[in-house]
């Protein structure tokens, strides 16, 4: 009887773990689809100097943003926060750490004319940025 109960509990635990993992994978997949959707427009806005990237991993507008752009920024940052939380939970980091690592990734792949906000809070184009690496 005890053995049967133990097996049932083990099965329930495994099912719960599998469903959590699957749910997380689904959420990541949805997030990725949304990032993909926004990527081209965001790249265009980065290229013309409308938006830039901060050292904490957020996208920000450099000037007064049109409603369409403000909504895009809001959606992008909301999804970035979700992604950071998921990865942080998976790996055992904090969402802030994941955000800063993502910012580094974005800084590395940025074009020379892209605007980046360093930890002193100032906007600087990548070509003028002195790398510490």
The contact set with another protein (CB under 8 A) reads: 28, 32, 35-36, 39-40, 43-44, 47-49, 51, 54, 58-65, 69-71, 73-74, 77, 81, 83, 87, 90-93, 97-98, 101-102, 104-105, 109, 111-113, 115, 117, 123, 125
Would you say 2 or 29 has its CB closer to another protein? Answer: 29
> Which has the closest alpha carbon to 52: 125, 3, 130?
125
Q: For residues 20 and 78, which CB has a smaller minimum distance to another protein in the complex?
A: 78
Dihedral pair phi/psi, residue 130, rounded to 5°: -90, 115
Considering the complex, state which of residue 22 and residue 71 has its C-beta at the smaller distance from another protein: 71
Bridge-based pairing of strands 59-61 and 123-125 is unpaired
Nearer to another protein among residue 101 and residue 129 (C-beta): 101
Minimum Å gap between C-beta 120 and another protein is: 13
CB of 119 to another protein, least distance (A): 14
Q: How far is the CB of 98 from another protein (least distance, A)?
A: 5
Beta-bridge mates of residue 52: 60, 115
Q: Which residue has the tokens 């427009």?
A: 41
The answer to whether 79 touches 59, Cβ cutoff 8 Å, is no
**Least distance in angstroms from the C-beta of 17 to another protein:** 19
The CB-of-79 to another protein minimum distance in angstroms stands at 11
- Label residues 55-84 b or e (16+ Cβ within 10 Å = b): bebbbeeeeebeeebeebbeebbebbebbb
């Amino acid at each position: 009887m005890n053995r049967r109960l133990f097996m049932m509990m083990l099965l329930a635990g495994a099912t719960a773990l599998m469903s959590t993992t699957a749910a997380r994978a689904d959420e990541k997949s949805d997030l990725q689809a949304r990032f993909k959707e926004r990527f081209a427009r965001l790249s265009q806005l980065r290229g013309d100097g409308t938006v830039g990237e901060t050292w904490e991993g957020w996208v920000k507008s450099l000037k007064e943003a049109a409603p369409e752009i403000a909504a895009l920024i809001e959606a992008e940052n909301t999804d970035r926060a979700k992604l950071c939380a998921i990865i942080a939970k998976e790996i055992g980091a904090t969402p802030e750490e994941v955000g800063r690592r993502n910012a580094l990734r974005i800084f590395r792949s940025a074009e020379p004319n892209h605007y980046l906000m360093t930890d002193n809070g100032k906007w600087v184009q990548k070509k003028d940025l002195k790398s510490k690496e």
